[in-house]
Amino acid sequence: MTISQSGPPVRDITRYEPVAAFTAYAEAQEVVDALSDRHFPVENTLIVGVDLRLVERVLGRLNYGRAAAMGAATGAWFGLLIGLFFAIFTPDLSNSLGVILWGLVWGAVAGALFGLFSYALTSGRRDFYSQSGLEAGRYEVLVHPDHVAEARRLLESRRSDAG
């Protein structure tokens, strides 16, 4: 869970000092959680992804049929949302289901048409679909200089408790 910033503003990340580094985000998160459990002021802590790279996973070939199907699925969800919204304001409860279904159907039709149109505009330059995301080579736990000694002491005592 990510919540908006509540600690001191991070004006200069270069002032923060590393106290631990990991290859997995979950490990860095676990260290910050351990510091929190020991009543460390974690609002002075950062988890920073280092050596970022954009990874695009190719999921499959794209053609007119798949473009229409994917557009229809997306449109159906949007149409369902709109149908539910309008159904709230439908005075007759028996008509609510009809409103929801019409929203779903027209959303699917509009989405399919939009998917076909969008794919046609690519003129075959992108005949695949994919999912993109950022990945980090490592994750560093950084601490504000005023609290580095305390963080290192707590992490060292954690290691000796575990070992």
Domain range list for the chain: 16-52+136-162, 60-133
Residues facing 42 on adjacent strands: none
State the pLDDT at residue 124. 80
Q: List the structure tokens of 35.
A: 């510091």
pLDDT of residue 6: 52
H-type helices in 4-163, by residue range? 25-37, 64-88, 93-121, 148-162
Closest among 69, 72, 102 to 87, alpha carbons compared: 102
Tokens of 60: 């499959």
pLDDT of residue 3: 45
**Per-residue confidence (pLDDT) for residue 10, from 0 to 100:** 61
How many Cα atoms sit within 13 Å of 90 on the Cβ side? 15
Instruction: Return the pLDDT at 8.
Output: 54
Average pLDDT per consecutive 10 residues, the chain (163 residues; last block may be shorter): 52 88 96 95 95 96 95 97 91 85 96 96 89 96 95 86 67
Going by C-alpha positions, the residue among 71, 64, 76, 78 that lies closest to residue 124 is 64
Both tokens of 82, joined, read 């709109």
User: Which residues touch 123 (CB under 8 Å, ≥6 apart)?
Assistant: none
CATH architecture of the region 16-52+136-162: 2-Layer Sandwich (3.30)
